[in-house]
Amino acid sequence: MPNDPAPTPDRRKIIDGGFLVLLAVTLLAAGLVAMKYGATHALATAVGALGFLAVLLPKVGAGLFVAAAIPLLLPREKVSALIGQESGWRGLLLASAAGALLPGGPGMTFPLAAALFAAGADIGATLAFITGWSLLSLNRTLIWELSFLDWHLVGLRVLLCLPAPLAVGLAARALIGRRERPRP
């Protein structure tokens, strides 16, 4: 609705337990690189990582914007009907196929999965979407796997992975049950 106020985002901590663990591992790695190769090499590695961050940050920012916009743009009833808790096998198959067909990396996939979850997808379909992308990516299969590996090997891998997104989605639905779904 045009007159509805914009939702206020939840305040998130910048420094939390996950950040502190990552910071500790980063400092340990920097110290080990400095001890083994010298401080100059450790500094060059840090500068290279910051350069990569500069390239990656706009992509992640765009993905996060899409993740924030999708729940506002897609009708919750339609998303819920297609890939919500009551969608059954059809919802899991649709989410798995969407994940497999999605071109792009994790900077696009995970924000999109979060957006679909916020827009009404259930946990089973969300995990089927991510698993479909992880294991059945058509983009990766066509461009990378078939370029380097025998098609028999690729076909066997795809065949063995085919039921995985459905199994993950069904397991998630069984574990969560019919309880109230958590808020993203």
In residues, how long is the chain?
184
Does position 59 have pLDDT exceeding 70, yes or no? yes
pLDDT for residue 9: 59
Number of domains in the chain: 2
Domain co-membership, 105 together with 166: yes
Query: Would 9 be classed as within a structural domain?
Result: no
Does position 78 have pLDDT exceeding 70, yes or no? yes
Query: Would 98 be classed as within a structural domain?
Result: yes
Domain co-membership, 111 together with 142: yes
Domain co-membership, 87 together with 153: yes
pLDDT for residue 165: 97
Domain co-membership, 121 together with 99: yes
Sign of CA dihedral 171, 98, 123, 90: negative
Q: Is this structure's pTM higher than 0.75? A: no
Query: Would 142 be classed as within a structural domain?
Result: yes
Domain co-membership, 114 together with 169: yes
pLDDT tens for 121-159 read 999 999 999 999 999 999 999 999 999 999 999 999 999
Domain co-membership, 62 together with 78: no
Average pLDDT, the chain: 88
Which residue, of 71, 100, 115, is where some domain finishes? Answer: 71
Range of the domain at 113: 74-176
